[in-house]
Homo-oligomer: A and B are copies of this chain.
């Protein structure tokens, strides 16, 4: 059993989703929650909340691997900067714990979860709920965090079947 922590970084709210995947590639739900960062006094304190929040979750749930959405392009430089900061802080928190981090593009996540790289956000949300047998509707950041974790679980399972590393299976170096 491998435990995967999925992260959907945001500077106001970072979504976190945790799943387990067995050797056959079957996924099961473990936990999800938002890390709400708006309460902090200033930007550095927000980053601290994010890093400490992730450190707490890692201690409590002991994930083995981390998956995070790869961002190619944001809407505008201002939102790109904010998103980048949250993403840099989140990755710092987990690499410091020596967890391997795997990055997936939005289109790769949609392909893995819905079967179509151009799928709508709502379809992803819906499929994540179905795949993990969740009774209640997920918020967008929780769904995105669980979706990237599921993507990594599938890539890992394929890799295991083929005797490759997850990076090789996904066509990376």
Which residues of A approach B to under 8 Å, CB–CB?
A: 42-45, 47-48, 50-52, 71-96, 101, 103
Q: How far is the CB of A171 from chain B (nearest CB, A)?
A: 14
| 20 A-B residue pairs with CB within 8 Å | A43-B103, A50-B92, A71-B81, A73-B77, A73-B81, A77-B79, A80-B81, A81-B84, A81-B87, A82-B84, A83-B84, A85-B87, A85-B88, A87-B88, A88-B88, A88-B89, A88-B90, A88-B92, A89-B92, A92-B92
Chain B residues with Cβ below 8 Å from A89 are 88-89, 91-92
Chain B residues with Cβ below 8 Å from A74 are 77, 80-81
Chain B residues with Cβ below 8 Å from A88 are 47, 84-90, 92
Q: Flag if A47 contacts B82 (CB, 8 Å).
A: no
Chain copies in the assembled complex: 2
Q: How far is the CB of A165 from chain B (nearest CB, A)?
A: 12
Q: Is chain A's interface secondary structure helix, strand, loop, or mixed overall?
A: helix
> In the complex, A159→B78 CA distance in Å?
31
- CB closest chain-B residue, reference A85: B88
Q: A89-B89, A92-B92 are in contact. Are A44 and B103 (CB under 8 A)?
A: yes
- CB closest chain-B residue, reference A43: B103
- CB closest chain-B residue, reference A54: B92
Q: Flag if A93 contacts B92 (CB, 8 Å).
A: yes
Chain B residues with Cβ below 8 Å from A47 are 88, 91-92, 95
Q: Flag if B77 contacts A44 (CB, 8 Å).
A: no
Chain B residues with Cβ below 8 Å from A51 are 92, 95-96
> In the complex, A12→B91 CA distance in Å?
16
